[in-house]
A and B are shown apart, each in its own frame.
Chain A
Amino acid sequence: DTAVSQTPKYLVTQMGNDKSIKCEQNLGHDTMYWYKQDSKKFLKIMFSYNNKELIINETVPNRFSPKSPDKAHLNLHINSLELGDSAVYFCASSRDSASYEQYFGPGTRLTVT
């Protein structure tokens, strides 16, 4: 069974479009995260939710909007996609917000043309 799953795995789209990435974890964890890994391999946190509540919101353009319908799901919606949004987006989860061991999903490789 996949612990943290993301869909889609690959996403190619044009500038200006709106797209969503979905994430689900079956570990029973309370906390979920979205990270962005750019072409230089830096992995940076974007958002964190604990039991459906937003607890970390980094300096991210408001074109990015996370939504957590329940604690097992954290989706990421991106409006008006730009070339600079091209990256790998990883979802992760941890037992709770104080737990430092995070389990990552396989990543969604987003390419904006």
Chain B
Amino acid sequence: RKEVEQDPGPFNVPEGATVAFNCTYSNSASQSFFWYRQDCRKEPKLLMSVYSSGNEDGRFTAQLNRASQYISLLIRDSKLSDSATYLCVVSSYNQGGKLIFGQGTELSVKP
């Protein structure tokens, strides 16, 4: 079983749609969680951290459920510029703090 699992998609949505991505992780000792964004043929960039209380940054909302070992990302009012691959990332002290990346979920927003 992969340490971090995501639906690879692609998710094809119209502009203005709301889209949700899910991610599960297998290491119960994981204590830090993130969403990174990777544009086609570019480097990954941190989108947002994920906290147990949930957090929001503009049109983006991230949620964490430690009991279910589940992380989500909600994008409201999708823009064409949101088209990218969204990477779920997990880290834990018992792995030396290294980041474990999911395969990524590809999003394509169409006009």
Residues of A within 8 A of B (CB): 40-45, 48, 55-56, 90, 97-98, 100-102, 104-107
**Considering the complex of A and B, which 3 residue pairs feature the smallest CB-CB distances, nearest first?**
A104-B43, A43-B101, A100-B32
In the complex, B80 has a CB within 8 A of chain A? no
The docked-state distance in angstroms from the alpha carbon of A43 to that of B97 is 16
Contact of B97 among A41, A44, A97, A104 (CB under 8 A): A97
Chain B's interface: helix, strand, loop or mixed, by majority? strand
Q: How large, as a class, is the contact surface on chain B?
A: 20 to 34
Contact of B34 among A40, A42, A98, A100 (CB under 8 A): A100
Nearest neighbor of A40 in chain B, beta-carbon distance: B103
The minimal Cβ–Cβ distance linking B62 to chain A, given in whole angstroms, is: 14
In the complex, B46 has a CB within 8 A of chain A? yes
In the complex, B96 has a CB within 8 A of chain A? yes
Q: Is the CB of A90 within 8 A of B43?
A: yes
